[in-house]
Amino acid sequence: MTLFDEYEVPKELTEDAYDALELARDTGKIKRGSNEVTKTIERGQAKLVYLARDVEPEEVIAHLPLLCKEKGVPFIVVPSKDELGVSAGLEVSTASVAVVKTGKAAAKLKEIIDNLEALMRGEELPKKEAKAEKPAAEEAAEEAGPEEAEEAEEEAAKEEPVEAKEAVEEAVKEEAVKEEAAKEAVEPEEEKVVEKKKPPKKRAQAKKAPKKAGGKKPEQADQG
């Protein structure tokens, strides 16, 4: 947008500005749309004004940079009205937004304003050092209240790293193997008694008595 080409806003600063707007939206107060933004500037309520570069026609917000300079209100030009709408909590795009109450975004907004003033003076912004990623437990503790933070720290302390757990389990297994080997070395092996199977007994064959002649009974023969 040719009306706002006084200086080029670096991509990193733009992203920081979007983040600060979202935080101010959730914890402070913002106004959306050129009419509302104009009122906040005129009343001296605007802390930082956002203007979308891709607004058409640009005359819709062409008066806002001049009004901001007149009232001493800092403003930043962002590349997309769609992204500005999303950051402002809208389902549609918006041409301009004003932060009225900073909420928890006060520190971020101050840093952004300082950087904008440096750009207007023709100074280069210092490069940001890459921040080390914080553990999820620490991030949760920062976002939570004092009591919730203490609970999160206690839970994090209870949870051991996966690698540490695996190392402990492996050590326990090795100790169990050593104990088993020691027992086998001290205790004599039990003698295994092999039961010998006895051969099956043969059945006794019954002797048959010889039959007497005539088929007479023994008593009858004596009587004759």
Give residue for tokens 């490069």: 127
- The pLDDT of residue 39: 96
In a domain, 107, yes or no: yes
In a domain, 40, yes or no: yes
Which CA distances in Å does 186 have to 172, 180, 190, 200?
A: 21, 10, 12, 42
What would the mean pLDDT of 134-142 be, rounded to a whole number?
Answer: 54
In a domain, 77, yes or no: yes
Nearest alpha-carbon partner for 84 in 128, 75, 127: 75
User: Structure pTM?
Assistant: 0.57
Helix 11-27 with 106-120: angle, nearest 10 deg: 150
Q: Which of 80, 103, 126 is the last residue of a domain?
A: 126
Pair (116, 71) in one structural domain: yes
Which pair of structure tokens corresponds to residue 124? 């280069």
Pair (114, 14) in one structural domain: yes
Pair (108, 151) in one structural domain: no
pLDDT band at 128 (very low <50, low <70, confident <90, very high): low
Pair (112, 148) in one structural domain: no
Tens digits of residue pLDDT in 9-24: 899 999 999 999 999 9
Q: Which of 92, 126, 160 is the last residue of a domain?
A: 126
Contact partners, residue 73, CB within 8 Å, separation at least 6: 41, 46, 47, 48, 49, 67
In a domain, 7, yes or no: yes
Which CA distances in Å does 143 have to 20, 112, 149?
A: 15, 22, 8
What would the mean pLDDT of 69-84 be, rounded to a whole number?
Answer: 95
Higher pLDDT, 23 or 148: 23
Higher pLDDT, 117 or 221: 117
Pair (142, 32) in one structural domain: no
Pair (102, 21) in one structural domain: yes
Nearest alpha-carbon partner for 61 in 47, 75, 72, 71: 75
Pair (63, 36) in one structural domain: yes
- The pLDDT of residue 115: 93
Pair (10, 109) in one structural domain: yes
Does residue 132 contact residue 126 with C-beta atoms inside 8 Å? no
Nearest alpha-carbon partner for 141 in 155, 153, 129, 157: 153
In a domain, 187, yes or no: no
Per the structure, the count of domains in the chain is 2
Strand partners, 29: 101
In a domain, 208, yes or no: no
Pair (75, 53) in one structural domain: yes
What would the mean pLDDT of 187-196 be, rounded to a whole number?
Answer: 48
pLDDT at 203 over 50: no
pLDDT band at 164 (very low <50, low <70, confident <90, very high): low
pLDDT band at 125 (very low <50, low <70, confident <90, very high): confident
Strand partners, 37: none
What would the mean pLDDT of 41-61 be, rounded to a whole number?
Answer: 94
Q: CATH no. for residue 106?
A: 3.30.1330.30
In a domain, 188, yes or no: no
What is the spatial distance between Cα 222 and Cα 61, in angstroms, rounded to a whole number?
156
Indicate the residue type of 153. Answer: E
Q: Report the share of the chain in percent with pLDDT over 70.
A: 59
- The pLDDT of residue 136: 56
Which pair of structure tokens corresponds to residue 28? 């402070």
Provide the residue range defining the domain that includes 46: 2-126
Pair (10, 67) in one structural domain: yes
Pair (15, 109) in one structural domain: yes
In a domain, 132, yes or no: no
Pair (122, 144) in one structural domain: no
